[in-house]
Every structure is written in C-alpha cells, then in structure tokens.
C-alpha cells in the first residue's frame, strides 16, 4: 500500500468516489443553470438575483461550489503527482492550488450571502 498524506481523503477509494459524486453534482447544477437560461430568454438582473435570493438556490449553489473545489483539488493533485517529480516544487504548487481554491470558495460564499 502506497501512503500519501497530501491526497484529499488519504484513500484512493474515497478520492475516486468524491471525484464521481462531485462530478454528478456539477453536472446537475450545470443542466439546471443552462435550462434556466433557456427558459428565460429575456433574462434581466431582477430575475437572476431573484433566483439567487432563494435559500434553496443558495444551498444548491454552495453545494456545487464545494463540489467544484473538491473536484478541482483531486484532479489537480493527481496532475501534480504525475508530472512534478521534485518534491519541493510539487508541494509548492499544491499549496498555491489549495490557496486558490480556498479563495474562490470564500469568494463564492460571499457572493451568495453577501448581497
């Protein structure tokens, strides 16, 4: 068994499962948003912010953002472990990625509840 402390769930199985579950959430969210746009051809600011004023939509969006964060981290972690063979460089890049994901996540929450 290969151990690795930087992976998301410390287990290939949980990472793999998380990757798939988050993908399904993102897919549903995307379909919903696309459908919303299609059914509202004359979309204006009020309709859009009206949608996001509803609690269920905020929770749904937050779920999608968290899923995106997890999905991105697992995927990018994999890419870094494939291609970056220098430990120092890899950990550095991974730190930047984590920071980036964190910032986007906080920013997303701020947008959802900040208005």
Partner 1 sequence: MSNLQVSVYRYNPETDSAPYMQEFQVDTKGRDVMVLDVLHMMKEQDSGLAFRRSCREGVCGSDGMNMNGKNGLACITPLSDVVKNNKLVLRPLPGLPVIRDMVVDMGLFYKQYERIQPYLQNDTPPPAIERLQSPEERDKLDGLYECILCACCSTSCPSFWWNPEKFVGPAGLLQSYRFLADSRDTATSERLSNLEDPFSVFRCRGIMNCVAVCPKGLNPTRAIGKIREMLLADAT
| Distances from the Cα of 37 to the Cα of 41, 43, 57, 86, angstroms | 6, 7, 15, 45
Q: Which is nearer to partner 1, 11 or 49 (CB)?
A: 11
Q: For partner 1, which is the closer residue by CB, 2 or 115? A: 2
44 binds partner 1 (CB under 8 A): no
CB 79 within 8 A of CB 85: no
- CA distance linking residue 54 with residue 34, whole number of Å: 18
Give the x-and-dash track for 57-96 against partner 1 (CB under 8 A).
---------------------x--xxx-------------
Chain-centroid distance, C-alpha 54: 21
The answer to whether the annotation marks 71 as part of a ligand binding site is yes
Coil/strand/helix, residue 41: coil
Span 14-33, contacts to partner 1 by CB under 8 A = 15-17
Known binding-site residues for heme equal 71
Residues of the shown chain interacting with partner 1 in the complex, contacts defined by CB under 8 A: 1-4, 7, 10-13, 15-17, 78, 81-83
């Amino acid at each position: 068994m290969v151990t690795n402390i930087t992976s998301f769930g410390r287990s290939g199985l949980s990472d793999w499962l998380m990757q798939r579950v988050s993908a399904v959430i993102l897919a549903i969210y995307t379909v919903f948003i696309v459908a919303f746009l299609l059914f509202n051809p004359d979309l204006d600011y009020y309709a859009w912010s009206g949608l996001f004023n509803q609690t269920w939509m905020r929770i749904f969006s937050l779920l999608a953002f968290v899923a995106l964060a997890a999905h991105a981290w697992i995927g990018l972690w994999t890419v870094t472990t494939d291609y970056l063979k220098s430990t120092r460089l890899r950990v550095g890049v991974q730190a930047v990625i984590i920071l980036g994901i964190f910032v986007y996540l906080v920013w997303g929450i701020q947008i959802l509840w900040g208005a």
